[in-house]
Amino acid sequence: MLNCLDELVFSKVHSENRIKKAYNLLGENIVNKIIGFALFLLGANREKIAEKINIPTGTFLSFLTRIDNIGISAFGDRRSSTSFQVKQTKSQKLCVTLKKEENNFSIQFNNDDKTIALPINNSLQAKVVLLTFLKNGLLSLAAVSQALNFSTVHTRQLCEKLYSEDAHSLIDKRKGQLKDYTYTPDIKAEIIKQFAVNAVTGASTSSQIISKQLNDEHNLKLSDRSVRSHMRKLGLQKIAKSLSIEVNKVKKSSKI
């Protein structure tokens, strides 16, 4: 950089006012260091600089060495609270709330008024967004599973598939969705009957076991997921324990 001091006009009044203002803002020690470093860059003698800014020569030389080692932090005064170090503010913890409304999934951040609305009917969009939040730890596995009406195991599998195979892997590739009309009253009756038999005999009442039993016995192709959905709608899991208890009570009373 060319030395341009000869071309500049200096005002003693402006200088005193500006330095006084800088002293109040930054502190005398830091301002003197800034002036000294600027003069050093312009080629002035180090000993003379130290004399003019009222800093011992050894201290000024140490200051220049510190600049070489740690950069701008050298301007800070370690003996006072004034410092050029960047102060980090304590960031607010991000809180994400997921609500399932009539037509939308609503995602809210830190109880703010602004929300993200995902149409429930846009199933692929909802899956991608909610599973992305799950993968990044912003929503819990339980919350996402409940919202999507999936088991936690299936939800975790979908999350892994999304990140390994991209969004197209979440598209339901079956030729047609399994509509409710496929589950005729007879099939629903078989689900209830098999559930009751398993509950009373102590066998597993999981949708996976029941769907397999019905498929094997009646040559059906009921999916575990759909059977689980209908069992939930019928409230069967809520009576699994009480059903066995009631049957035992009837057996005991009939023997009396």
Q: Say how far apart CA 92 and CA 13 lie, in whole Å.
A: 47
Q: What pLDDT is attached to residue 172?
A: 65
**pLDDT average, residue stretch 161-188:** 72
* Residue, of 186 and 179, whose pLDDT is higher: 186
What's the pLDDT tens digit per position in 206-216? 999 999 999 88
Encoded tokens for 61: 């030389």
pLDDT value of residue 83: 46
Between 151 and 246, the more confident residue is 151
Burial of 114 (0-12, 13-18, 19+ CB in 10 A): exposed
- The phi and psi torsions of 100 (rounded to 5 degrees) equal -105, 110
Q: How many CB atoms are located within 10 Å of the residue 160 CB?
A: 13
pLDDT tens digit sequence for 8-28? 788 888 888 888 898 888 888
Q: Looking at per-residue confidence, does 117 or 254 come out higher?
A: 117
pLDDT at 168 over 90: no
Q: What is the mean pLDDT of residues 198-221?
A: 89
Q: Would you list the domain boundaries of the chain? A: 15-75, 101-170, 180-246
| Spatial separation of the C-alpha atoms in residues 86 and 90, rounded to whole Å | 13
133 contacts 125 by C-beta, under 8 angstroms:
no
Dihedral through CA 186, CA 206, CA 173, CA 180, nearest 10?
30
pLDDT at 179 over 90: no
Give me the pLDDT at residue 112, please.
67
Q: Each residue of 78-134: pLDDT tens digit?
A: 555 444 444 444 455 678 888 888 888 988 887 666 788 899 888 889 999 999 999
Cα angle at 14 between 13 and 17, to 5 degrees? 85
Q: Classify 3 in phi/psi space as left (phi over 0), alpha (psi -120 to 50) or beta.
A: beta
C-alpha 134/C-alpha 139 separation (Å) is 5
Dist CA 146 CA 137 (whole Å): 16
- Residue 174 confidence (pLDDT): 53
Which residue in 37, 41, 27, 28 sits closest to 64, CA to CA?
A: 37
The pLDDT value given to residue 194: 92
Question: Which pLDDT does position 175 carry in this prediction?
Answer: 47
pLDDT classification of 178: cutoffs 50, 70, 90: very low
The confidence score (pLDDT) of residue 78 equals: 56
Dump strand ranges (E) for 96-201: 96-100, 104-109, 115-119
The answer to which of 30-34, 72-76, 109-113, 252-256 has the lowest mean pLDDT is 252-256
What is the share, in percent, of the chain residues with pLDDT greater than 70? 84
